[in-house]
């Protein structure tokens, strides 16, 4: 009983925060609403017996990604979002897409409700850090390695993108570095 | 009594719908970026719910992968936004029209 009440509480919080994120024109308010969604989802993960994922959700999403987003919003000193006046037909596209997705959600809800056996397996406990870690470094080693390489590529790409040098300047820097290395020898 | 699998899937579907509509309604790039994050989170919720109801660890593992990809996307996406702002002094996606005409 208590878990049902908590689920509806946090589900309502998540949906309300998500709607407020889309509604607000100021990007900073949107970012803070999105942090609300992440925290509510993290509480739902705890109720789904996944404590590790809940902790990682707070650490990575609310802690790292949103700090980066808020930092960029502050850095660029953005003003408020202007209304869609040039592309007015987008309102209809967005409304239609939302309607279709909601109908689809309703069908999924209906189908799963009608399925015969959907009680959670209470005896198995899979959300512990030990279970995740041992699966990660034995059975799923290759995807973990690929994700590691992807993160490295993303970091290098981000540094290159934001660097304030043009191509000729970059070539000069590389030449200079090569020269220095040559002198050391 | 625990909430059924269907209620988790419904919550996830509603969050995904809000994110998908937000991508179309928002005009600045950072707003669209945040809506994409919201959609990724909705998918993560289905992974964790199925992982709970089938007693399988794979779902939670893939949530971890999705989070790593989201972090990589944040780094590169925000880098692109900053580079775009330097050239155009705005992050309105309508101003990204250099290849038009």
Q: Which domains does chain B have, with CATH numbers?
A: 5-89 (1.10.287.3510)
Q: CB distance B57–A4 less than 8 Å? A: no
Count CB atoms within 10 A of the CB of residue A76: 19
Q: How far apart are CA A83 and CA A81, in angstroms?
A: 7
- A123-139 residues labelled b (16+ CB within 10 A) or e (exposed): eeebbeeebbeebbeee
- The two three-digit tokens of residue A74, written as one number: 């502050």
Distance of CA B4 to the CA centre of its chain: 25
Angstrom distance (rounded) from CA B50 to CA B8: 9
- Our CA dihedral for B60, A119, A106, B31, rounded to 10 degrees, sits at -20
CA pair distance A82, B27, nearest whole angstrom: 7
Cβ–Cβ below 8 Å for B69 and A52: no
The partner residue sitting opposite A48, judged by closest CB among B52, B61, B72, is: B52
Structure confidence at residue A178 (pLDDT)? 83
Name B92's bridge partners. Answer: B28
ipTM score above 0.90: yes
**Nearest chain A Cα to B80, which residue?**
A161
B87–chain A Cβ distance below 8 A for any pair: no
Which positions of chain A have pLDDT values less than 70?
Answer: 80-86, 117-123, 165-167
Query: Nearest-5° angle of CA A65, CA B29, CA B77?
Result: 45
Query: What is the H or E stretch that residue B16 is in?
Result: helix B5-25
CB atoms within 10 A of CB B9: 20
Helix (H), strand (E) at residue A66: helix A66-76
pLDDT, one tens digit per residue, over A75-112 is: 888 776 666 666 778 788 888 999 999 998 888 888 88
CA pair distance B30, A25, nearest whole angstrom: 11
The SS3 assignment for B18 reads helix
pLDDT at B2: 75
- Interface probe for B, chosen from A9, A13, A37, A106 (most Cβ of B below 10 Å), is A37
As averages over each run of 10 residues, the pLDDT of chain B (101 residues) reads 83 94 88 94 94 88 93 91 84 78 66
Residues of chain A positioned with their CB less than 8 A from the CB of B30: 27, 30-31, 69, 72-73, 78
What's the CA gap between B28 and B51, in Å, rounded?
36
Which segments of chain B are extended strands (E)? Answer: none
**Cα–Cα distance measured from residue B53 to residue A148, given in angstroms and rounded to the nearest whole number:** 29
């Amino acid at each position: 009983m208590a878990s049902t009440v908590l689920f509806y509480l946090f589900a309502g919080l998540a949906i309300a925060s998500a709607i407020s994120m889309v509604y607000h024109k100021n990007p900073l308010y949107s970012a803070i609403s999105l942090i609300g969604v992440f925290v509510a989802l993290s509480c739902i993960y705890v109720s789904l017996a996944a404590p590790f994922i809940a902790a990682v959700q707070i650490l990575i999403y609310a802690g790292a990604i949103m700090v980066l987003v808020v930092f960029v919003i502050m850095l660029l000193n953005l003003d408020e979002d202007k209304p869609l006046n040039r592309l007015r037909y987008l309102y209809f596209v967005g409304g239609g897409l939302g309607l279709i997705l909601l109908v689809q959600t309703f069908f999924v809800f209906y189908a799963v409700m009608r399925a015969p056996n959907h009680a959670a397996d209470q005896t198995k406990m899979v959300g512990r850090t030990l279970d995740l870690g041992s699966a990660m470094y034995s059975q799923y080693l290759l995807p973990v390695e690929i994700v590691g390489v992807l993160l490295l590529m993303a970091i290098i790409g981000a540094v290159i993108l934001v660097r304030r040098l043009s191509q000729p300047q970059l070539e000069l820097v590389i030449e200079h570095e090569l020269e220095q290395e040559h002198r050391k020898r | 009594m625990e909430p059924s699998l269907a209620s988790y899937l419904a919550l996830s579907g509603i969050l995904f719908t809000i994110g998908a509509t937000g991508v179309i309604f928002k005009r600045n790039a950072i707003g669209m970026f945040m809506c994409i994050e919201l959609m990724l989170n909705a998918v993560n919720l289905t992974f964790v719910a199925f992982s709970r109801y089938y007693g399988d660890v794979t779902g939670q593992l893939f949530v971890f992968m999705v989070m790593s990809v989201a972090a990589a996307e944040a780094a590169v996406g925000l880098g692109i936004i900053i580079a775009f702002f330097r050239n155009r002094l705005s992050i309105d996606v309508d101003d990204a029209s250099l290849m038009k005409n």
